[in-house]
Amino acid sequence: MAKKKVGWFGDFGGQFAPETLMEALSALEAEYSKIRRDTTFRRELNYYLRSYAGRPTPLYYAKNLSDIVGGARIYLKREDLLHGGAHKINNALGQALLAKRMGKTRVIAETGAGQHGVATAMAAAVLGLHAEVYMGSEDMERQRLNVFRMRLLGATVHPVDAGSRTLKDAINEAMRDWIANVSNTHYLVGSVVGPHPYPTIVRDFQSVIGREIMVQFKKSVGGLPDYIVACVGGGSNAAGSFQAFVDEKKVKLVGVQAAGQGLASGKHAAPLLAGSVGVMHGMRTYLLQDDNGQIQLTHSVAAGLDYSAVGPEHSYFKQTGRVEYVGVTDEEAVKAFETLSRSEGIIPALESSHALAYAIKLAATLPHDTTIVVTLSGRGDKDVESVAKFRGSML
Amino acid sequence: MSARIFSGSNHPLIAYLMAGYPTLNRSLEAAEIVFKAGADALELGVPFSDPLADGPLIQKASTVALRQNVSLRLVLDMAGRLSGSGKPIFIMSYLNPILRMGYAEFAAQASRSGVSGVIIPDLPVELAAEWVRTAWANRLGTVFLATPSTSTPRLKKIAQNSTAFVYLVSVYGVTGVRDELPGYTYEFIRRAKSVVNRPLALGFGVSNPRTVSHALKAGVDGVIVGSLLISKLMDQESSWVEVLANLESTVHALKQATSTTVPTEEGK
């Protein structure tokens, strides 16, 4: 496949977008490369990240959990403590400020679990933009609380009834909106997915997670952690956690995908483990697709991981071997959700519970002087009803 | 074969149908009717699970076709069965089904099926070098899309790589039925006409004889009508025979508009 270097991660990424969006993507790329080095922009973003969103987030040694597991020491990067309850606000604030710079008055977003929708609604409210959010109707059902929050924050939520009625369909619909309204609208993509420059922009805005981990770990523990573990749906919290450590070859990086009811069941959302390379949503990446190139439906108990593709940089990290990708089932994730709630008094998001479940398994096989940092990408209040249902009880 | 429809004073009407909607056999019958009613060429849509440049009508047709497992291979077979008509057939497919089959195999099969050209709405011209080479080697025409947001330098690049015709997208938006087109569409047509030395066909929202006439006057060489025809096929109130009769008269009226419109000097 022909490719230019810019906008590619090895063989992955690119800009496979409808023609209507090509000029808008170029304009976005140009504006982004300007603000990347602009100290005024960085100062403004840092102000909002600190004073509004609550950065830096703590790096917490989960001693009780580590003791129960009885192996490596587990540290939690507490992105769940951010305003809105997830790491999504890092990117939403960055892109909303960028949208304002570009003179856009309207932002649109897709959302799966609703966390990115909430973050976008918050950023739009505080920065004086109009927000509209596309959400699969199945996700609206299982994340009702977040739908209500978005509406309270002044955003319009559009249900998407097409296809699997989850994240991928919400992205399609947001793209269609953008095609029609590209002159006044910024598409505030919520993960490291989509056509170039989105995977780079979102990763950069999330890379604050990894930079803080590095500084905090050095200060409180010393040196570098042995492992960093993060969940991967689209892959933004993982990309943000890994970025600062990619060149630190001694630090092992692990991305955890949703194995749903098991990879063998076919009911999962793990393109990096059971998918093949193709093109969707503007990028060449690993996908779950059938023999005819149709995109397959996914399953995960965590709406935020329920996606049939993955950010192209993760496909590249898989190919180069820099990151190890593993799977965690619904059952294992829910168990980790319960374990952390009881041992540490922290209710993690079901998405983050996937990372946690793997870290718990991993820690048990390692000595006590080994350290694992888990990015707790969000809090789990939104998931209480889903977990109750999973366990066969109603609230 | 594709250049022929743009020759002389002919202004081709290119009819879009979704292969497999409402069924594979019926879409074949619809294609035959469309040709009989005067369409000069057929744009045959390949169903895709995530058609992000399409509005609700074509999305729905795509979903129905996929439920019947209509694959790219089956669409190429269908094109082969229609090639006896002697009229050009263009395949319109999103990139992933083609990639899954592989450029080389797809191009070879399309060529064997008598396909004239291929339209891939999510393959921008910058990333199309390999496809353009493969299409060329298999005598398939290439068609790239240009939109009102396309800059003039890009428009030139798109034209250079479009061996069959340039597909002008009329509006900011997805496919769908539109009563009329905005003023900027006509400005775009005139701009394209002034820099592109290839046949121009206008699509997206071309839904009645009046729009066809306006578009030709503004300088396009042909028109593409899709969602309107799909909407005729979606008529649940009528029998299939009536649906086909309705489709026939619709296409006939559109073709009338292309053959009675005399381009003005302004559009030339």
d(CA B227, CA B176): 5
pLDDT, average across residues B82-99: 97
**How would you classify the pairing of strands A8-9 and A12-13?**
antiparallel
Whether the predicted pLDDT of B126 surpasses 60: yes
Three-state DSSP string of chain B: CHHHHHCCCCCCEEEEEECCCCCHHHHHHHHHHHHHCCCCEEEEECCCCCCCCCCHHHHHHHHHHHHCCCCHHHHHHHHHHHHHHCCCEEEECCHHHHHHHCHHHHHHHHHHCCCCEEECCCCCHHHCHHHHHHHHHCCCEEEEEECCCCCHHHHHHHHHHCCCEEEEECCCCCCCCCCCCCHHHHHHHHHHHHHCCCCEEEECCCCCHHHHHHHHHHCCCEEEECHHHHHHHCCCCCCHHHHHHHHHHHHHHHHHHHHHCCCCCCCC
Helix (H), strand (E) at residue A13: strand A12-13
pLDDT tens per residue across span A129-173 = 999 999 999 899 888 889 999 999 999 999 999 878 889 999 999
The whole-model pTM stands at 0.96
The closest alpha carbon to A347, from A85, A125, A6, belongs to A85
B-chain residue closest to A21, CA distance: B149
Report the pLDDT value the prediction gives residue B244, as an integer from 0 to 100: 98
List the single residue in B123, B127, B147 with the smallest CB-CB distance to A3.
B127
Interface of A with B in 293-322 (CB under 8 A): 293-295
Asked, for residue B262, whether it belongs to a domain, the answer is no
Two tokens, residue A324: 């190890």
A86 phi/psi in degrees, rounded to 5 = -160, 165
Cβ within 8 Å, pair A172-B52: yes
Report the pLDDT value the prediction gives residue A66, as an integer from 0 to 100: 98
B246: domain CATH number?
A: 3.20.20.70
Asked, for residue B127, whether it belongs to a domain, the answer is yes
What is the number of domains present in chain B? 1
Asked, for residue B265, whether it belongs to a domain, the answer is no
List the single residue in A176, A181, A294 with the smallest CB-CB distance to B49.
A294
Asked, for residue B195, whether it belongs to a domain, the answer is yes
- A278 CB near a chain B CB, below 8 Å? yes
d(CA A221, CA B55): 55
Asked, for residue B143, whether it belongs to a domain, the answer is yes
A279 phi/psi in degrees, rounded to 5 = -125, 125
pLDDT, average across residues B157-173: 97
A143 or B24, which is more confident: B24
Whether the predicted pLDDT of B83 surpasses 50: yes
- Average pLDDT for chain B: 94
B99 phi/psi in degrees, rounded to 5 = -60, -40
> How distant is the Cα of A26 from the closest Cα of chain B, in angstroms?
11
d(CA B72, CA B89): 14
Asked, for residue B238, whether it belongs to a domain, the answer is yes
- The ipTM of this complex is 0.94
What is the share, in percent, of chain B residues with pLDDT greater than 90? Answer: 93
Two tokens, residue A371: 């350290």
> How distant is the Cα of A243 from the closest Cα of chain B, in angstroms?
27
A-chain residue closest to B167, CA distance: A19
B-chain residue closest to A1, CA distance: B130
Report the pLDDT value the prediction gives residue B264, as an integer from 0 to 100: 54
Asked, for residue B16, whether it belongs to a domain, the answer is yes
Whether the predicted pLDDT of B268 surpasses 70: no
Asked, for residue B260, whether it belongs to a domain, the answer is no
pLDDT, average across residues A203-208: 98
- Told to judge if B221 belongs to the known catalytic residues of this protein, a careful annotator would answer no
pLDDT-based confidence at A3, cuts 50/70/90? very low
Per the structure, the complete domain to which residue B196 belongs is given by 8-255
Set of chain B residues whose Cβ sits within 8 Å of the Cβ of A183: 172
- Told to judge if B237 belongs to the known catalytic residues of this protein, a careful annotator would answer no
Report the pLDDT value the prediction gives residue B3, as an integer from 0 to 100: 56
Set of chain A residues whose Cβ sits within 8 Å of the Cβ of B169: 19-20
